[in-house]
Chain A
C-alpha cells in the first residue's frame, strides 16, 4: 500500500519543485514509510510513498513506459495482476517487475481508461501523459482508496489525503458548510465534497482527465441490483451456496497474495468469521487474528472472538480498550480521519492497527462489505417493515414488528403504538421516494444540528441535506424493490465516505496497515446484483444466503447470531476523568467562539447534562462526538495547520527530474 501526491502547473502556477514534493510526501509518510519517489518535469510533479508488499526489491515509483511518455504514481493493489500479466505477455508486451504498478501502467498504455474495467482491486492512481500534457486520475469501484484534489492559484494539486494537499505552500483550508450539513445528517460528506471548501474528492468508481482546460470526470462503475441475467441460475439454493463459496474462496485467495504475512480481523460476527475460516483453509503456516475487546462490557464481544480464534487455532491477539484510551487517542485519530466523525468507533480500530503493526503485520483481511451487499443491517429491515406497514397505515400490529429489530431498545415496547407510529411513521406512505429507507435515521441525526452556531445554521438554512439526491444514484435505482434501494443508498452514502474511510483506510494506514476486503471484490458485488432479494433478506432474516454458507462452515452460535453493530463508548470515554482534559478545552466558550461553528450555550448544556450524570441519548452521543471531532479538526487543519517535517537526508528518496537526471538519496 502506498500514498500518492502531485501537482500540475499549466499557466503561471507553482513550478514543479522537489521541496514541495518532500513536504507533501512527509504528510502521508504513514501510508508508505519504506521508500519515496518523486518525478519532476516542466509541468508536473508526482510523488509516491511506498509500503512494500509485493516485489519488495523492485517496483519503486514513479515508474514510466519505455518511451517515457507515461509516468505513474499508484496507491493500491490489483489482485488479479498475475492473470493480467499473462495476458500482456501473450500479447508480446514485456513486463519487467513482479509489481502490480507495472501491470497497471502497461495495461493503461495499451487500453487507456477502459483498462479500469478489468482490474480487480483497490486503488487510487495518477498517470501523467508527458507528451499530451494531461493527467489521468482514477479510484477503484467502491472507493476503498482515497483521492483528493484542489485547484489553487493556477495549480492543480492532488493527494491521497487532505493533509498532503494542506502541506502545499500557501494553501489554507476553510470549512464547507454544505459538507458539514451532510455530515451532521448522514455521518459523512459525499464526493465530490470534502469537509473543506478548497478540497474535492474523486467519486468512487470514476476517473478524471485533467488538462489545461480543466477537469473532466466520468463514472465507470456503479452499484447495481435487480439485474436479470438468464445465465445466472437461481432455482437451486444448493448451487447458489456453492457458487458463493467458490467465489469467496477465490476472492480470499487473491487477497492472500503478498510477499509479507497476512492476518485477519475477528469481530465475533458472521462476516469476519467466514473470512477467517476461508483464510485458514488456505493459509500455510502461522495465521494471526486480531480483535478489539472493551473494558466496558456493554460493548465487548471478546467471548465470541476467542471462541472463533480457538476453533480456527490462530495466534489470536487482542487489544482491550478502555474509556480513557479512546479519549486520549481520539485527537490523533481525528487527524488521520480528516473528517468530523459522529462515532468514536474509529478510535479502537486505530489502536487495533497499531497492535497489528507492532506484531510486524502490514496486511489484514476483514469482513467489511457483507452487510451492505448481502443485506445485514437493521436499517434494511426497518425499510421493509415500514413499507409493509404503509400498505395498512392504520394497523397497530404492523409497526410492532419494529420491536423485533431493535431488541436493544426493549423500552420501545413500553411506548404504545401511537408513539411508534409517530417515531417510525414519518413519511410512512412515501414509499417511492429515493430516501425512504434512510429518512428516519437522517431525520434523527439532523437533531445534532441544534448545536450549530447561528452563522453556520444560516449558511445551511436554505438547504437540508438530502443525501439521496446528492449521492447521484444509478439511473435504474427508481425501478428497484425497497431492499435493493436501501442497500444501494447505504453503499452510495456511507460505505466509501465513512466506513471504508474513517473505519477503514485512515485508521489502518495511520499505522501503515493495509486492509483487504474479500466481500468487496467486484465479482462478489456483481453476484449480489443478480441475486434476487429473497436470497439477500428473507422476511426479516438478514444475509440469508451468506448465513446458509456460514452454516456449512461455522458453528451455529456464530452463523446464527443476530448482528451486533460494532460500536464504542462515547460520553463515558470523553468524560471519564475528574481532572480537566483537552475535551474541556476544546469545548470551552473561547474555543467554540474561535471556530464559530457551534453555539457555546447549547454545548455547555449538553456537557452539563453529561457531567451531572443525567441520561444521555443516542443523539447526544453523536452530537458530542461531532462537536469534539470538528473542534479538533478546526485546530489541526483550519486555525493553524502545521505541516510535518519534510522528507530529509535519512529518507530513501528516488528523484527523477526529467529536466536533469535521476538521483537517489
Chain B
C-alpha cells in the first residue's frame, strides 16, 4: 500500500504540481484545482497501465479518484475483485 501511495503521489507531484509537494493523502485534487479534465484522464491511463486494471466509465467518480487515499483503496478493491474472479 505505501509503495502504491508513494507512486500515485509522485505521479501527481511530478506531472501536475511540478515539484510543489504540499499534498496530503486526503487532499482533494478538485478542491485544490490540481487536475483539469484531461488531467483526470491521464491519471486514469497511468493507473490502468501501472496496476493492470480497467477503470470502467461508471467508476470515473471523484469518490474513486479525487485523493491519493481514494485512488489506493479503489485500486486495491479492483485488484481483489479481479484476483477473486481469476480464482473463480
Binding site for B on A (CB under 8 A): 409, 411-412, 414-416, 418-419, 422-423, 443-444, 447, 450-451, 599, 601-603, 605-606, 608-609, 614-615, 617-619
Q: Given known contacts A617-B38, A618-B38, is B62 in contact with A419 (CB within 8 Å)?
A: yes
A604→B43 CA distance, assembly (Å): 20
21 residue pairs A–B, Cβ–Cβ below 8 Å: A414-B41, A414-B57, A415-B37, A415-B41, A415-B60, A416-B57, A416-B61, A418-B62, A419-B40, A419-B60, A450-B17, A599-B18, A599-B19, A601-B18, A602-B18, A602-B20, A605-B19, A606-B18, A609-B14, A614-B15, A618-B38
Q: Is the interface of B mostly helix, strand, loop or mixed?
A: helix
**A-side contacts of B57, CB under 8 Å:** 414, 416
**B-side contacts of A602, CB under 8 Å:** 18-20
A608→B10 CA distance, assembly (Å): 14
A423→B33 CA distance, assembly (Å): 9
**B-side contacts of A418, CB under 8 Å:** 61-62
A601–B19 CB distance below 8 A: yes
**B-side contacts of A608, CB under 8 Å:** 14
A175→B39 CA distance, assembly (Å): 31
**B-side contacts of A618, CB under 8 Å:** 36, 38
A451–B41 CB distance below 8 A: no
A443→B30 CA distance, assembly (Å): 12
B14–A615 CB distance below 8 A: no
A414→B45 CA distance, assembly (Å): 12
**A-side contacts of B61, CB under 8 Å:** 416, 418-419
Asked if B58 lies at the interface with its beta carbon under 8 angstroms from chain A, I say yes
Report the minimum CB–CB distance from B12 to chain A (whole Å): 12
A114→B20 CA distance, assembly (Å): 55
**B-side contacts of A416, CB under 8 Å:** 57-58, 60-61
A617–B62 CB distance below 8 A: no
C-beta contact mask, B1-44 vs A, less than 8 Å → 1, else 0?
Answer: 00000000000001101111000000000100100111111100
A419→B66 CA distance, assembly (Å): 10
**B-side contacts of A411, CB under 8 Å:** 37-38, 41
B37–A605 CB distance below 8 A: no
Report the minimum CB–CB distance from B22 to chain A (whole Å): 12
Q: Is the interface of A mostly helix, strand, loop or mixed?
A: helix
Chain B residue with the shortest CB-CB distance to A415: B60
**A-side contacts of B60, CB under 8 Å:** 414-416, 419
**B-side contacts of A609, CB under 8 Å:** 14-15
B15–A447 CB distance below 8 A: no
A545→B82 CA distance, assembly (Å): 56
B62–A447 CB distance below 8 A: no
**B-side contacts of A414, CB under 8 Å:** 41, 57, 60
A423–B15 CB distance below 8 A: no
Report the minimum CB–CB distance from A199 to chain B (whole Å): 31
Q: Give the contacts of B38-60 with A (CB-CB under 8 A).
A: 38-42, 45, 57-58, 60
**B-side contacts of A447, CB under 8 Å:** 33, 36
Interface centre among B18, B33, B36, B57 (most CB of A within 10 A): B18
A450–B18 CB distance below 8 A: yes
A451→B16 CA distance, assembly (Å): 11
Q: Given known contacts A419-B62, A422-B62, A615-B45, is B37 in contact with A409 (CB within 8 Å)?
A: yes
**A-side contacts of B14, CB under 8 Å:** 605, 608-609
A451–B18 CB distance below 8 A: yes
**B-side contacts of A605, CB under 8 Å:** 14-15, 18-19
**B-side contacts of A606, CB under 8 Å:** 18
A322→B33 CA distance, assembly (Å): 34
Q: Given known contacts A414-B41, A418-B62, is B36 in contact with A423 (CB within 8 Å)?
A: yes
A450–B20 CB distance below 8 A: yes
Report the minimum CB–CB distance from A464 to chain B (whole Å): 12
**A-side contacts of B19, CB under 8 Å:** 599, 601-602, 605
**B-side contacts of A601, CB under 8 Å:** 18-19
Interface centre among A412, A415, A418 (most CB of B within 10 A): A415
**B-side contacts of A419, CB under 8 Å:** 37, 40, 60-62
Report the minimum CB–CB distance from A339 to chain B (whole Å): 24
A412→B37 CA distance, assembly (Å): 7
Report the minimum CB–CB distance from A382 to chain B (whole Å): 13
A419→B30 CA distance, assembly (Å): 9
A619→B57 CA distance, assembly (Å): 24
Report the minimum CB–CB distance from A438 to chain B (whole Å): 16
Chain B residue with the shortest CB-CB distance to A411: B41
Report the minimum CB–CB distance from A598 to chain B (whole Å): 10
Report the minimum CB–CB distance from B23 to chain A (whole Å): 13
Please give 20 more A-B residue pairs, beta carbons under 8 A apart, in addition to A409-B37, A614-B42: A409-B38, A414-B41, A414-B60, A415-B41, A416-B57, A416-B60, A418-B61, A423-B37, A450-B17, A450-B18, A451-B18, A599-B18, A599-B19, A602-B18, A605-B19, A608-B14, A615-B42, A618-B36, A618-B38, A619-B36
